[in-house]
Amino acid sequence: DEAIARIDRVEPNAHPEDRLARLERAGLLRRSTTSISIDRLRDPVPRSQRSVVEALLEERLESR
């Protein structure tokens, strides 16, 4: 198994840019080279034709 996330405590006085820079230096974060319009975040979420549970069960069966 490989870790895909880590939860750390955030210091109350820590500046967000300092934290991002530290994660980037450690190779744990790569900042985007392009920007995204805030309007894109307001777009409706695409809907799937099947449930997430069905997709997960199918994936588990295929990987056996």
| pLDDT value of position 26 | 92
* Whether 45 contacts 39, CB under 8 Å: no
| pLDDT value of position 25 | 92
Dihedrals phi, psi of 9, to nearest 5 degrees? -75, 140
| pLDDT value of position 9 | 81
**What are the start-end ranges of the H helices in the chain?**
16-25, 38-41, 52-62
Q: Would the pLDDT of 64 be above 70?
A: no
**pTM reported for the whole predicted model:** 0.38
Q: Would the pLDDT of 10 be above 80?
A: no
Q: How far apart are CA 49 and CA 37, in angstroms?
A: 27
- Condensed to tens digits (0 to 9), the pLDDT of residues 14-57 reads 787 888 888 899 998 888 888 888 888 888 888 888 898 988 89
